[in-house]
Homo-oligomer: A and B are copies of this chain.
């Protein structure tokens, strides 16, 4: 695929995902409209729609053709967004800007940001549950696929996934001794990796992938999640603040241990390359189905395709 063709396709797909996600946002009306505005503000501030994109690509790769994926596309973005809203709170990372915009608590206040985060997490499940109305209600297999997808989403977003990673991250920042490699790997696998795994597995489960295919895809997703996180650490050192829409150098400023501080810039770059190569060459290519765009996306996001 040529660079221009990929970029055009990426733009079309992002727009389409934006349209789907916005379609599931609650209308800003009723007595409680302030919390709804705060929720929608946070979701609309969102960027690449990466998790829904990975989900939809996985769904299509395994032959998914229904619309029951759509509520899940919105749900994963709501979960990702709520985690950022709560992360940015003064009691957590105390961030005032994200993606070049004021964070939710800066605009709506702390109490409303807590409620908006809660609202988004809850509404994510409320939304994903709508998938039951988009499959054949007399087909137990179809109902079971939606139930299984919900279970994966809930687990990866929770204490055995994203929230677990966030917990260890918060604790690592206040502990007296430096973060260990094992801690850092756990943080990355859970905080970033878990939602990537959830995205790809949910797509595959809804499309009816086999258990073996799910195992391969999970390994692929784990590599992708880790590669993206290390790439993020790298960009915090070498990236451009304006292009990224957030301050760079914040990890160093906060004396935060990252893969770059642990292994050095060159080794970190090599790790990203190895992981994204394995994700594409070993795992993705062993799966039958159309995944050329997904391959290109992985290479782009891990900084190997400009």
Q: Which residues of A contact B (CB under 8 A)?
A: 26, 30-32, 34-36, 39, 82, 86, 89-92, 109-112, 114-115, 117-119, 121-123, 125-126, 129, 132, 137-140, 143-144, 146-147, 150-151, 154-155, 157-160, 163-168, 170-171, 183, 186, 190
Q: Copies of this chain, how many?
A: 2
**Known A-B contacts A151-B126, A159-B36; A91 and B118 likewise in contact (beta carbons under 8 Å):** no
Nearest residue, chain B, Cβ from A147:
B132
State A170–B110 Cα separation when bound (angstroms): 11
**Known A-B contacts A91-B114, A144-B137, A144-B143; A167 and B125 likewise in contact (beta carbons under 8 Å):** no
Docked-complex contact B129 and A154, CB < 8 angstroms: yes
State A119–B86 Cα separation when bound (angstroms): 12
Docked-complex contact B125 and A35, CB < 8 angstroms: no
Docked-complex contact B151 and A35, CB < 8 angstroms: no
Docked-complex contact A151 and B164, CB < 8 angstroms: no
**Known A-B contacts A26-B159, A121-B118, A121-B121; A31 and B126 likewise in contact (beta carbons under 8 Å):** no
Across-interface contacts of A144 in B (CB, < 8 A): 132, 137, 143
Across-interface contacts of A30 in B (CB, < 8 A): 164
Across-interface contacts of A166 in B (CB, < 8 A): 115
Across-interface contacts of A157 in B (CB, < 8 A): 122
Across-interface contacts of A119 in B (CB, < 8 A): 158-159, 163
